[in-house]
Structure 1
Amino acid sequence: MNGLRPAMTSLFEQLGLDSGEAAITEFIGTHQLDAGTLITQATYWSEAQRQFLEEKIRSDGEWAIVVDQLNEALHEDSLK
């Protein structure tokens, strides 16, 4: 990534999803998870996407931070 820190747009690109700001906002709004569902357990991920997310979480590096941010965003409704 040319030394740049991963960002949400980069994560969406890596997942093969539209990485535009509006698309990210829509994805998060329409893919909310209940409090008991881990991000890697969401039924909408392909196996490759699930493996990517699991690998980045385990790596505990900069990508893990971005995945955690996505995780928090996908659980926003369950916190209300």
Structure 2
Amino acid sequence: MDTSKHTLTTLFEQLGLPADQASIEQFVRRHAPLRQDTTLAKAPFWNEGQAHFLAEGLADDSDWAEVIDELDAMLRH
């Protein structure tokens, strides 16, 4: 079982995206603000695998849920 703490960096790595701080900030600038009526997993910038991972992580309240929520909040501001 993976007991490591998940961070935005590890989330971006899991999603197959550049995960350094500058890349994360650029991603957020490029895609924010996310419409209030769009769930994070349904955002148009995810591929099918990424969207599935995000939706499943939240639905299952997995150990990824907290950092997925953090990304969601960042994209809404």
TM-score by length of 1: 0.88
- Structure 2 distance, partners of 1:54, 1:34, is 17
Matched, 1:17 2:5: no
- Structure 2 distance, partners of 1:31, 1:4, is 28
Matched, 1:28 2:17: no
User: Structure 1, unaligned stretches of length 5 or more?
Assistant: none
Give the paired residue count: 76
| Aligned-partner residue type, residue 22 of structure 1 | A
- Structure 2 distance, partners of 1:8, 1:59, is 19
Superposition RMSD in Å? 1.3
Q: How does 1:27-66 map to 2 (within 5 A)?
A: 27-32=27-32, 33-66=34-67
- Structure 2 distance, partners of 1:22, 1:3, is 26
TM-score by length of 2: 0.91
> Deviation of residue 4 (structure 1)?
1.7
- Structure 2 distance, partners of 1:34, 1:3, is 33
User: Structure 2, unaligned stretches of length 5 or more?
Assistant: none
Once the two structures are superposed, residues 5-63 of structure 1 have per-residue CA deviations (whole angstroms, 9 ceiling, x without a partner) of 11000000000000000000000111111111110111110000000001110121321
Of all paired residues, the percent bearing the same amino acid is 38
SS of the residue corresponding to residue 5 of structure 1 reads coil
| Aligned-partner residue type, residue 12 of structure 2 | F
> Deviation of residue 2 (structure 1)?
5.5
